[in-house]
Structures are given as structure tokens and as C-alpha cells.
Structure 1
Amino acid sequence: MSHAPAARLRTRVRSNKVPDPTVSFWVIKILATTVGETAADLLSDTVGLGLPLTTLVMAVTLVVFLVLQFRTRSYRPSLYWVTVVLISIVGTCITDNLTDGLGVPLALSTTVFAVALAAVFVIWYRSEGTISIHSIDAVRREAFYWLAILFTFALGTAAGDLIAEQTGLGYFPSLLLFAGAIALTAAVWFIGHRGPVVCFWIAYILTRPLGASTGDLLSSPVEDGGLGIGTITTSVVFLVLIAAVISWLSIRLRRDATAPQAQLGVSS
């Protein structure tokens, strides 16, 4: 009888599968969104796979990593962030297929993705009572989480291209616009301490067009308003930066996990 509460507690307590939104989180997120923009163009145009084949290959790869992600019991930096990079590429491909392949106007795809994302949030909240990333500790919550992430990337790609290209604003002014919107969202939280969950998701959505504008600015030819660095160099540099930060996070996570054990050994 005395062990029943402890047993019930063990069945309830699960590790959160998502990292806390620290500085490193936002750094990798922005790097990943930039890679999502440039890598999709790299594989489709530079490598010559074409947009449909690129979409298929990346979607299959994403499914494999999502299966691995769902099978883990806790947050693993390398697996989690590779999945984010892949979903960033797939989200870009989805929007590009609609725009370039099917001729869907960016204004329409932006609206549709915004409505779809809002629907995911509503259903998620009604089902789980929260959409906080601090409680991604069950399969259904994780499914809602990754579905929301996919729509944020697709929405951000469409909105970023709509504002940067079709309005004629340009890549750098768009980058400043989205960066300013993120800064304003952060100020609402840090100064007013209002709506942390809502502020997180607004910032998360805005980092996608910020990354897309950054990727287009760096990789696009000078005559198109970019810096002409190219998709290959931009993708490689950002992937190396992502790998470096992930490696640092993995080392720190292992060190933090072994520290209590070391202290227990000393105290015993």
C-alpha cells in the first residue's frame, strides 16, 4: 500500500521533449530557418533535383527522424534540432510547390496556413488544456507540437516571400521588419510579463520569415537584391554553426547529467 502513490507518480512524470527557450534555442532556431530557405533552393536548383523530388526526399527523411524523435524518452539536442532543420526545409518546399508549381498566390497560401495553424492551436488547447512547450511530455502533445511547427514554417515562408518580394520591400528591409516585430514581442514579455506562451509562439512564427529573409539576402544574386554569397556557401556555413551549437549543448547536457552522480559518489 505504501508504494502505490510512488508508483502512480512514476507513471505520470515524463521528461519534456522540447528544450527551454534560452538564448541558444533562439540562435539555433534562426540558423535552422535560414538553412531551411537556402537548402531547399540548393537541392532543388543547384543540385538539380527539382522541387517535387526535393520535397519527396526531404519529407521521407523528416518522417524517419520524427519516428526517432517520438521514440525517445527525453530531449536529445542532436535529434531534436536535425528534425527542426528538416521540417524547416519541408515547410519551405510545401510553400514553394504551392506558389511555383500550382500557381497559388502567396496571399492565399499565407491566409490558409495562418488559419490552419490557428486551428491546430485551438484543437491542441481544447484537448490538452495548454499549448505550452514546457509540457511536451506525451505522444499526443508532441504530435500537436510538431504539426504546429510544420505550419509555422510553411506560414513563415509564405508570409516572408509575400512581404519581401511581392510588396517590393526587399530582403534587408524585411529582415529589419521581422526583427523589430520579434523585439517588440520580447519586450512585451520581459517588461510587462504578459502572456509568455502567446509571446513565445508569436516570436517562433516570426523567426521563420526572419530566417527566410536572411537566407534570401545572403544567397540571392546582387541584381535581385541579395549579397550574392550563394546557396551552397550560405547553407554550409549555417549548418556548421548549427552543428557547433548542438555539440556544445550535447556536451553540457551530458555534463549536467553526470554531475549529480559524481556528487553522490563523493558524498557516499
Structure 2
Amino acid sequence: MAPDGDLDLEELGYAATHKLPQVTLLYWVIKIAATTLGETGGDMFSQTLKFGYFLSTVALFAIFLVSLVAQLRAKSYHPAFYWAVILTTSMAGTTISDFMNRDASAKYLSNGATSLGWGPQGLGIGYPVGAAILSSLLIITFAVWRATGHPFSITKITSFKAEALFWTAILISNTLGTSLGDFLSDSSGLGYAGGAALIAVLIAIIAALYFVEGVPNTVLFWAAFVLTRPLGATVGDYFTKPTIKGGLGLGTYGASAVLAIIMIGGVAWVTLQTRRETKLAVAAAA
């Protein structure tokens, strides 16, 4: 940002030539709102509406693919497209994680239910095994990404192949984050509030490391990106789960509505800002 508050030429060029956003404080606010909405929204489909983990996963993964195609086909950065993919990976990641880790036991199904939706109830492999599998997949994705020679930095991703690898890592990391968040909330003994507090402390440490010279910003970005997902998972569960289970009992409908308003407001603001930057870039180039 130029000293007088106007955009400098470098920022104008970025707005006009990149497909992925610059990482700012507002970016992380929208990211946390999106991942928390992904948790409450995924649970709304699979549990509240009783579609089940299997059907919800199929439907939400299909929606993710539609949003991904729109993002990949875009020639420049469109905030609505980008954040739609982030949201759909969060929602699909929630139900994929639940399908992998849970089953039809009373531990996961409330009100005496014995089934949830059509199809398989879940693989029931458990959070630790699920997290280990997803962590391995994420490591493999990064290894393949590194082997291609494409940069990891979000500000340097400009090719189709690099962006495809980026979104693959996003989907896996959001699914992994759900498993980690659910493990902290349900199995670690910390509960929803305790799990959210632990993740918040870790994110605060990452934020402090940003100001330490020599620590790669790209490493900090991906660490924060992965950890904001379990933060969203634990906060989402804390909002929606009944008080008897340690939550606030707000339900998936109310919590999802509030989070959607926050996210839509943030994306609308970024969209207006991006359009302004683009207009200024065109005028500067004329």
C-alpha cells in the first residue's frame, strides 16, 4: 500500500494478473468463518436433515467439483469463486471425515437413532487412524507438488497445474482439520471449548512467528491454513452441540445462518475492493 493510502503499481498488477488472493487479516477472518460454516453446514446436511454421511459426501463433493471448475476456468481472481471453493471443501471435508471416522453407534447418533440416511453409515476407522491417513495424503501431495517445481506460495501460483495441486492440498487439509478438530472435541477430553482454545493458542504462536526473521512465510501460511480448519470444527461443534454434551445448543440452522452472514459480508467487501483495484489497474495501463 502506498503511503497516501492508494494502491501502488505492484498491487494493481497483482489484482489484475493473479487468480488467488493476497493473504491479509481479512483473509483469515473469512477463512475461519468459512471453515466454521463448513462444519455446521456439513453437520446440517448429514445429521440435522438426516441425509447421512454417505449421501451428504456425494452431494457436497459434487458441489465442490462445480465450484472448482468455475474457479479453474476463471482468468483472474474472483473472490466469490475462490471462497465458494474454500467453503465447499470445508463442507465436503466435514462429511468425508465423518464418513471415514464414524459409524452408526450410539456414540455418534443421537435420540436413539440406529441409522442415518441411505447407504453406508460410515467406515468407523476412528479419528487417530483417519488423521494419520489424511496426514499421509497431504504429505504425498506436497511431495508431488515439490517434485513439479511449482512454488508453494499462494502469491506465486499462476499456472493451471499449480492451482490444481493447491486445491488438492486444500481439500485434504480441510478434511484432515475436521478429523483433528473432532478428535480434540470428542476423544481428547478437552471438550469443544478446550479444543478450540488449544488450536487458538497454536495459531497465535504461528502469528507471532510471522514477525521472526528467517521463518518462511509459506510454511507459516500452510500451518495456519491447516490449523484454522480444526479451529472451525471445534468452534462449530461448540456452537451447535447440545449443552449436555458441552456445547451451546444453538443448532446447525442458527449457527450456519450467522456464519453465512459474516462470510457473505467479508466476501462482498473483498469483491468491491478487487473491482476497484482492477479498474485502477486498467486505468494505469491505459
Of 83, 94, 101, the residue aligned with 1:92 is 94
What's the CA shift for 1:193? 4.6
Deviations 1:171-213 (A, max 9, x none): 1111111011011111112133511111110011000000111
Matched, 1:68 2:89: no
TM-score, length-normalised on structure 2? 0.85
Cα distance change, pair 261–111 in 1 and its aligned pair in 2 (3 A): closer
Deviations 1:192-250 (A, max 9, x none): 35111111100110000001111011111000000111110000110111111111111
Show the counterpart of 1:154. 175
Show the counterpart of 1:167. 188
Letter in 2 for 1:147: T
Matched, 1:136 2:157: yes
Deviations 1:148-187 (A, max 9, x none): 0011111111111112211111111111110110111111
Distance in 2 (CA, whole Å) between partners of 1:231 and 1:124 is 36
Show the counterpart of 1:10. none
Matched, 1:201 2:257: no
Cα distance change, pair 218–256 in 1 and its aligned pair in 2 (3 A): same
Show the counterpart of 2:56. 54
Coordinate RMSD, CA, aligned:
1.5
Show the counterpart of 2:3. none
Matched, 1:23 2:44: no
Within a 5 Å distance, the mapping from 1:1-268 to structure 2 comes to 15-100=17-102, 101-261=122-282
What's the CA shift for 1:129? 4.3
TM-score, length-normalised on structure 1? 0.90
Letter in 2 for 1:17: K
- Give yes or no for contact 1:128–1:141 (8 Å, CA) kept in 2: no
- Give yes or no for contact 2:145–2:162 (8 Å, CA) kept in 1: yes
What's the CA shift for 1:16? 2.4
Cα distance change, pair 261–118 in 1 and its aligned pair in 2 (3 A): closer
What's the CA shift for 1:54? 1.2
- Give yes or no for contact 2:40–2:236 (8 Å, CA) kept in 1: yes
Stretches of structure 2 lacking an aligned partner (at least 5 in a row) = 1-15, 103-121
Distance in 1 (CA, whole Å) between partners of 2:141 and 2:97 is 18
Structure number with the higher helix fraction is 1
Identity %: 37
Distance in 2 (CA, whole Å) between partners of 1:176 and 1:190 is 22
What's the CA shift for 1:22? 0.4
Stretches of structure 1 lacking an aligned partner (at least 5 in a row) = 1-13
- Equivalent position SS for 2:56: helix
